Amino acid sequence: MSFFKRLKDKFTTSAENQKPDELEQEQQSELDVDQPQSSEAPKEKTKQPKKLKEADFDDDGLISIEDFEEIEAQQLGAKFRAGLEKSRENFQEQLNNLIARYRKVDEDFFEALEEMLITADVGFNTVMELVEELRTEAQRRNISETEDLREVIVEKIVEIYHQDDEHSEIMNIENEGLNVILMVGVNGVGKTTTIGKLAHRYQAEGKKVMLAAGDTFRAGAIEQLKIWGERVGVEVMSQKEGSDPAAVMYDAINAAKSKGVDILICDTAGRLQNKSNLMNELEKVKRVIGRAVPEAPHEVLLCLDATTGQNALSQAKSFKEVTNVTGIVLTKLDGTAKGGIVLAIRNELKIPVKYVGLGEKLDDLQPFNPESYVYGLFADMIEQNVDDSNAADDHTDSTDVQNEGHTDDTK
Ligand SMILES: Nc1nc2c(ncn2[C@@H]2O[C@H](COP(=O)(O)OP(=O)(O)OP(=O)(O)O)[C@@H](O)[C@H]2O)c(=O)[nH]1
Ligand SMILES: [Mg+2]
């Protein structure tokens, strides 16, 4: 099966294969029941994930693992598709233009492709590596038309993300005992919002979650975290503004231990990576956490704002030098047309992107996965391509039938 077809099958419903009237009826009832009532809904309606009611329930009323995984993948596909809309418009348009302008695969095409990817924030080294791989692949497979290179480009993006992969985008969360997650980053990148979303995710998984209001510096920061705590329904441990953040963490850890909390997520004040006193404060917070719970913090997540582009990359480099960052949360990916920054971060920093922020709502934080990412980035192109090749197959089949008929007639 082709790479595009596999992505399409994985991330979309089989709805597009249904008859139009059947589909319309079904979508209308879905919209009535459980779709968000937005003016955008009709436009995207063919892309809505399969519903639980359509899934096969067994005798105990349980849904099969296969159905569950299918629904989960479709929901993920829909989320990435919606969140990466701006980047997708940009990437698809640019790539289509390139392919139309340079019909033949040659050095001019590769140079233009390099330029396009660099402009989309993919990062210089990553682009060079990617395009070099494409040159080799085009030669190996004897591809001479740029049109035939579409799928290879998307496939290589996934491959380049996966290299040196140790499955580290998975969070280091133990089933037993208290886990501590420390959220760090510069001002306004989305730390507190991400904590709210993360708490919501873990709570939905059945974990007992608590938050620690470690930003004692910015006015209103403690209150902001408390509002998230109320919204999600988790307890927030705090002290008054201006107190020592390390003391807040210490007390929160003790409270979390005595209440049997599974995951404590700690907010911190936004800090510039070049302010050494603030970075020292962060080290102190980490030390205190580590003394109270061996192995903690289990994750130090660096929040980066995708809309800041290459600046996010340099922030990450500096943070990495002064503190042990275990993962990246790339926020506001929905707000940029330069979604290529994900690849630059992964490749140039060797720090895994664990989550991406695809909007401001509670369920807009999604675990990062390169396949759902490229699907979000090229969804229309992928679907168009698969539909075209299905149509071409159908045509070949019907021509075969005609030819057979013709042969029979002449017998
Ligand atoms: N569109 C979009 N907005 C986001 C996302 N994540 C966060 N935001 C917004 O970014 C703004 C800043 O978020 P905060 O969570 O307060 O950021 P912070 O890093 O805690 O900020 P400081 O505490 O001031 O350092 C808010 O308006 C959020 O709603 C995202 O994934 N997408
Ligand atoms: Mg904050």
Handedness of CA 227, 83, 37, 55 (dihedral sign): negative
Helices 370-410 & 150-162 angle (0-180, nearest 10): 140
Pairing of strands 263-266, 209-212: parallel
More confident position, 41 or 61: 61
Element (H, E) at 131: helix 124-140
Q: Given a cut of 80, is residue 16 above it in pLDDT? A: no
Least confident of 44-58, 65-79, 229-243, 323-337: 44-58
Query: Is 401's pLDDT higher than 60?
Result: no
pLDDT at 77 (0 to 100): 92
Kindly report the protein residue whose alpha carbon is nearest to atom 29 of ligand 1. Answer: 360
Q: Percent of the chain having pLDDT more than 70?
A: 83
pLDDT for residue 43 is more than 70: no
Output the pLDDT for position 20. Answer: 43
Question: Which of 55-59, 97-101, 391-395 is the least confident region?
Answer: 55-59
Residue with tokens 């998975």: 170
pLDDT score at 243: 95
Q: What is the DSSP string of 150-201?
A: HHHHHHHHHHHHHTT--STTS----SSS-EEEEEE-STTSSHHHHHHHHHHH
Amino acid type, 26: E
Ligand 1 atom with the smallest distance to the CA of 186 is 25
pLDDT at 35 over 50: no
DSSP state letters, 51-112: PGGGSPB-TTSPBPHHHHHHHHHHHHHHHHHHHTHHHHHHHHHHHHHHHHH--B-SHHHHHH
> At 27, is the pLDDT very low, low, confident or very high (cuts 50, 70, 90)?
very low
What is the C-alpha separation between 346 and 344, in angstroms, rounded?
A: 6
Contact of 337 with 90, CB cutoff 8 Å: yes
Q: How far apart are CA 80 and CA 210, in angstroms?
A: 28
| Ligand 1 pocket mutation pick from 182, 193, 271, 301 by most atoms within 8 angstroms of CB | 193
What are the tens digits of pLDDT across the range 345-367?
A: 888 888 889 999 999 999 999 99
Under a CB-based contact definition with an 8 Å cutoff, are residues 81 and 376 in contact? yes
pLDDT recorded at residue 18: 44
Q: What's the pLDDT score for residue 152?
A: 94
Q: Return the pLDDT at 95.
A: 95
Which range among 32-36, 162-166, 223-227, 327-331 shows the weakest confidence by mean pLDDT? 32-36
pLDDT at 382: 93
pLDDT of residue 163: 72
- The pLDDT, as a whole number, for residue 166 is 61
| Cα 394 to chain centroid, rounded | 35
- 72 Cα: distance to centroid of ligand 1 (angstroms): 26
Cα gap 198→303, rounded to integer Å = 12
- At 251-303, the pLDDT tens digits run 999 999 999 999 999 999 998 877 888 888 999 999 999 999 999 999 999 99
In this structure, the residues whose C-beta lies within 6 A of any atom of ligand 1 are: 185, 187-193, 215, 218, 221, 270, 303, 331-332, 334-335, 357-360, 364
AA identity, residue 72: E
Phi, psi angles (nearest 5°) of residue 180: -120, 130
Residue nearest to ligand 1 atom 21, measured at CA: 188
Residue type, 408: D
Q: Which of 201, 180, 377, 194 is nearest to 298 (CA)?
A: 180
Give the type of residue at 335: G
Is pLDDT at 36 greater than 60 in this prediction? no
Taking phi first (over 0 means left), then psi (-120 to 50 degrees means alpha), and beta for anything else, what does residue 48 get? beta
Residue 80 has pLDDT above 90, yes or no: yes
Separation of 351 CA from ligand 2 center, angstroms? 22
d(CA 200, CA 185): 21
Instruction: Report the percent of the chain where pLDDT is more than 90.
Output: 63
pLDDT of residue 363: 92
Average pLDDT over residues 306-311: 91
Q: In 244-351, which ranges are continuous DSSP H helix?
A: 245-258, 276-292, 310-322, 341-349
The answer on pLDDT for 21 being more than 50 is no
The per-residue pLDDT for 52 is 57
Q: Which atom of ligand 1 is nearest to the CA of 359?
A: 32
Query: Using one digit for the tens of pLDDT, what is the confidence trace for 104-128?
Result: 999 999 999 999 999 999 989 999 9
Q: What's residue 59's pLDDT?
A: 65
Look at strands 353-357 and 299-305 and give their pairing: unpaired
- Which pLDDT does position 269 carry in this prediction? 95
What's residue 167's pLDDT? 56
Rounded Cα gap, residues 289 and 300, in angstroms: 11
pLDDT value of position 276 = 81
Q: What is the pLDDT of residue 248?
A: 98
- Minimal-distance CA residue to ligand 1 atom 11: 190
CA distance 167 to 147: 33
Residue range 368-380: average pLDDT?
93
Average pLDDT, the chain: 86
> Which residues are CB-contacts of 403 (< 8 A; sequence separation ≥ 6)?
none
Instruction: Strand 353-357: give its sheet, edge to edge.
Output: 235-237, 209-212, 263-266, 179-184, 299-305, 327-331, 353-357, 365-367
Q: What does the DSSP assignment read for 351-373?
A: --EEEEE-SSSTT-EEE--HHHH
